[in-house]
Structure 1
Amino acid sequence: MTMWEYAPAPESRDIANLKPTYRMFVDGQFVEGGGEPLKTVNPATEEVLAEVSTATAADVDRAVKAARRAYDRVWGRMPGAERAKYIFRIARLVQERARELAVLESLDNGKPIRESRDVDVPTAAAHFFYHAGWADKLGHAGLGPDPRPLGVAGQVIPWNFPLLMAAWKIAPALACGNTVVLKPAETTPLTALVLAEIIQQADLPPGVVNVLPGAGDVGAAVVSHPDVDKVAFTGSTDVGKTIQRQLAGTGRKLTLELGGKAANIVFDDAPLDQAVEGIVNGIFFNQGHVCCAGSRLLVQESVADELLEKLRVRVSALRVGDPLDKNTDVGAINSREQLVKIQELASSGEAEGAERWTSSCPLPDKGFFFAPTVFSNVSQAMRIAREEIFGPVLSVLTFRTPDEAVAKANNTPYGLSAGIWTEKGSRILWAAQKMRAGVVWANTFNRFDPTAPFGGYQESGFGREGGRTGLEAYLDV
């Protein structure tokens, strides 16, 4: 087999317009926060990128009051067609600054520039475009004759898709007439703060969107603030459960998009080469930092050996390294803490008797990197088959019959996503109806579109984001 050598093709980090300091965004202005500043780190080099001011409980209260004022006086009263103009303007500005945002995202998060450039930023812009189109049509969304906004939305987002998650949350809230207090993840605040620059550039009325960086205590203050009418959280299941307990009985609306342990099922009639590409995309996209990652591969016994051989050859060709290099397939793990968690769970797989295969690709000397890893001979009782690893680690199980495949796929407390690979349309429909998952992909994986609702069941949360259905979470219907 011919091994191709790729010449380095780095994107210039200067495009990110990185600043030494960033401040929180409250009531239309960038201001110093009262909390201890945090240093955000490039996970590929471990260098400090910038110092970011953080919020205190008093800052959260100030932001919520600004959002309430903006809702009562301006945004909640504004006709939908006028709101749409602002949201369209944000979408266009995201497009105009796409390259800057993509490079900044890869620096701060560790994901390959190809993914930031081709997936994250375009999809973020698409969410603003799509929801702008709904702003003056909410009465025709099938949610009642006169749906009304809720008020102030408190939103907490994770570190795996920082800009996209911000757009995912902010766009529908604004389209429905709500104002926003957003708390980005502690390790990846930069693109959310540049999005705040874009919002300021778009002349959005002061207080309509507020961005408060900080650690978990800031998110907790946003979620528990008594004047927040709706909470949207994307993150870990444990934190989601805590938020649900906090809001129980308060009458405030809540949507949770939590963890997952998705099954990717390959039947014996599946096109194996196509399936291998989907499997690789399902688990190694964004270093496996995807809540709906296809981290459990279920393969029909008769094709398991052939598929596993093809998969190892394909994974061996993945290039791990500098996220800003356009040739990189797998970038850096977002933080040392997450790397330690991945290493610990991978070690448990070996200790419990699974067969570990790790790509022999070279890893950089600095930074937080983990080579793509595939475990075979995995049983359902093993931790690597039960717990969300949130890294580039795939567990392979086998099945004999379609009923067994569905039973194993559903044998999880999660229920966010699933994949089905087969050439039989009837089998796709049969399996999809039986899968307990919010999203089921057929002969593809990790395809996202703002027109399609996304969300889970069981410990993967509740409520839907995106599409017409996702509007309901931000409306009093």
Structure 2
Amino acid sequence: MLDGRLDEATQRLLAHPFGVRAGVIRHFDINSPFDGSVVGTAPDTDCRTIAAFFERVVIAAGTLHTAQVVQERLCTWAKRIAVQREKLARTISLETGKPIRFARVEVLTALATLDLYCSSPAVSPAREWTAAQVTFGILNWCDPVLSLVTETVAALSNGRALLVKPSTRASLSSLSLAALWNEGDDLDGLLCVAPSTDAIGMLRAALMHSRVSEVRFRGSREVGNYILRACDEALVPVTVTTVTRSPFAVDEHSDIKSVCDSIIQRAFFPPLRAEAERVSCLYVPDSIGDSVVSALISRVSQLHVGDPLDERTDVGPLIDDVAATLLEEQIEEAVAAGAVLSAIESAAEPRHFRPAILDYAQPSMRVCQGELEGPLLPVVRYKHPHELQDVQMLNADSTA
């Protein structure tokens, strides 16, 4: 990846994750959120090829009789990930736009998750499990390495094989992890990654398969609600993990500098987990509102926005033009209703959105309630503490 793209050897491996060329397989491009260039391609699984994936995981599930083999395989996987951690971090940055230093933290957190499981006392190998079933996982583009590692541990430790449909925005990271998992034996099928541009078709195929006993999803509330309804109709157990957003509250006696530093960390830097609680808006007493907003504007103006592979970058690009359009619509609606957007330098590209403060926002605004796609912090001013009584708050004075 010397030129910012995946090297040819990695491309060949990801294009054929099973290691063989079984007929003609369609592919789709993975584009960089930063400059739109193609950073890699992924095989496009459809109804003609999904059967092979299900057959593979079912065969692997049939070989799974004890937790000992799972623990050993996960430990080996962790060692391989550790060796490739820098390469994985760069892949995350290339396809998601996450700054490289945060991508490194994501990989290290994934390794810590595996280490926690591997260091636990092994379940007695004499314990015989019932015939294992299959978990079908759907992941969004946030934290692709950490999310897949977490889902793999959850599925395999419960005696199930895992078939994952990653986001089309972040398929390369998932395919890289699958390649590190493979050893050329039947246990390879315990973790299969099947990228696809047909998310609905993949979900339907999973719900119709007799061996799929669970569906797991990580991503947005809107998609999560759709999956919940589909699984409910098919009578298939489902676990949905979505992004939650809660307000911060600032006390009028708080130290403004330290509070602003904490807010910047929680509002503009990516959390370690895709489902970690994020900031919906900031509640500030009107008596110190001007001082807090001024301090925040000064702090965000110092954040470096740019190439996610640049070590100096604090804020990477938005994931795509759809996210940029949605963010722009939310801001326009809020400004039309009386909110004031801090003066920010216009970025060269819509996806290169510079962090901004939206002052005089109202809790009812979509920008405070809906899913926020970019580095924007709405500020709600309040006059009396009783205005916060019905609002569940995060503590802005807590450690980031």
Shared fold per TM-score greater than 0.5: yes
Q: CA deviation at 1:262?
A: 2.0
Structure 2: distance between partners of 1:338 and 1:71: 38
Residue 304 of structure 1: aligned partner? 289
Residue 136 of structure 1: aligned partner? 122
Distance 1:152 1:341, change over 3 A: same
Q: What letter corresponds to residue 395 of structure 2 in structure 1?
A: I
> Does residue 342 of structure 1 match 2:327?
yes
> Does residue 370 of structure 1 match 2:353?
yes
> Does residue 181 of structure 1 match 2:163?
yes
Residue 329 of structure 1: aligned partner? 314
Give the 3-state SS of the residue equivalent to 1:58 in structure 2.
Answer: coil
Give the 3-state SS of the residue equivalent to 1:232 in structure 2.
Answer: strand
CA contact (8 A) 1:299 1:398 kept: yes
Q: CA deviation at 1:372?
A: 0.9
| Structure 2 counterparts to residues 402-421 of structure 1, below 5 A | 402-409=385-392, 419-421=394-396
Distance 1:289 1:337, change over 3 A: farther
Structure 1: distance between partners of 2:171 and 2:4: 18
Q: Which residue, out of 53, 78, 81, partners 1:91? A: 78
Residue 214 of structure 2: aligned partner? 230
**Structure 1: gaps (5+ residues):** 1-10, 139-144, 410-417, 423-442, 446-477
Residue 40 of structure 2: aligned partner? 50
Give the 3-state SS of the residue equivalent to 2:278 in structure 1.
Answer: coil
> Does residue 266 of structure 1 match 2:250?
yes
Give the 3-state SS of the residue equivalent to 1:353 in structure 2.
Answer: coil
Q: Which residue, out of 264, 288, 303, partners 1:280? A: 264
Distance 1:298 1:266, change over 3 A: same
| Structure 2 counterparts to residues 27-106 of structure 1, below 5 A | 29=19, 36-72=26-62, 74-75=63-64, 77=65, 79-106=66-93
Residue 111 of structure 1: aligned partner? 98
Q: What letter corresponds to residue 200 of structure 1 in structure 2?
A: N
CA contact (8 A) 1:60 1:221 kept: no
Give the 3-state SS of the residue equivalent to 2:329 in structure 1.
Answer: helix
CA contact (8 A) 1:154 1:222 kept: no
Structure 2: distance between partners of 1:229 and 1:36: 28
Structure 2: distance between partners of 1:46 and 1:61: 33
Q: CA deviation at 1:302?
A: 3.6
Give the 3-state SS of the residue equivalent to 2:395 in structure 1.
Answer: strand
**Structure 2: gaps (5+ residues):** none
Q: CA deviation at 1:236?
A: 2.2
Q: What letter corresponds to residue 379 of structure 1 in structure 2?
A: Q
- Could you report, residue by residue, the CA deviation over 1:243-301 in whole angstroms, capped at 9, with x for unpaired residues? 11222164432111124332122223444323222211222224999653213112233
Q: What letter corresponds to residue 15 of structure 2 in structure 1?
A: R
CA contact (8 A) 1:42 1:107 kept: yes
Residue 110 of structure 2: aligned partner? 124
- Could you report, residue by residue, the CA deviation over 1:66-123 in whole angstroms, capped at 9, with x for unpaired residues? 2122112x12x0x323321110111121111011111111111111111111x21111
Q: What letter corresponds to residue 248 of structure 1 in structure 2?
A: D
Residue 444 of structure 1: aligned partner? 399
Give the 3-state SS of the residue equivalent to 2:374 in structure 1.
Answer: coil
Q: Relative to structure 2, which stretch is displaced further, 204-213 or 283-292?
A: 283-292
Structure 2: distance between partners of 1:289 and 1:371: 23
CA contact (8 A) 2:263 2:396 kept: no
Residue 192 of structure 1: aligned partner? 174
Distance 1:339 1:223, change over 3 A: farther
Structure 2: distance between partners of 1:287 and 1:337: 22
Give the 3-state SS of the residue equivalent to 1:57 in structure 2.
Answer: coil
Q: Which residue, out of 344, 357, 363, partners 1:380? A: 363
> Does residue 152 of structure 1 match 2:123?
no
What is the TM-score when the length of structure 2 is the normalising length? 0.88
Residue 300 of structure 2: aligned partner? 315
Q: Which residue, out of 275, 278, 285, partners 1:293? A: 278
CA contact (8 A) 1:81 1:135 kept: no
Structure 1: distance between partners of 2:265 and 2:131: 38
Structure 1: distance between partners of 2:343 and 2:271: 14
Distance 1:315 1:204, change over 3 A: farther
Residue 172 of structure 1: aligned partner? 154
Give the aligned length: 394
CA contact (8 A) 2:146 2:273 kept: no
Residue 191 of structure 2: aligned partner? 209
Residue 7 of structure 1: aligned partner? none
Structure 2: distance between partners of 1:203 and 1:308: 58
- Could you report, residue by residue, the CA deviation over 1:330-368 in whole angstroms, capped at 9, with x for unpaired residues? 1111112211211221222212210111433x74x4682
Structure 1: distance between partners of 2:272 and 2:69: 40
Structure 1: distance between partners of 2:186 and 2:253: 53
Structure 2: distance between partners of 1:149 and 1:407: 49
Structure 1: distance between partners of 2:384 and 2:24: 59
Distance 1:289 1:400, change over 3 A: farther
Q: What letter corresponds to residue 217 of structure 2 in structure 1?
A: F
CA contact (8 A) 2:60 2:186 kept: no
Q: What letter corresponds to residue 55 of structure 1 in structure 2?
A: T
Distance 1:84 1:403, change over 3 A: farther
Distance 1:301 1:353, change over 3 A: closer
Structure 1: distance between partners of 2:301 and 2:318: 19
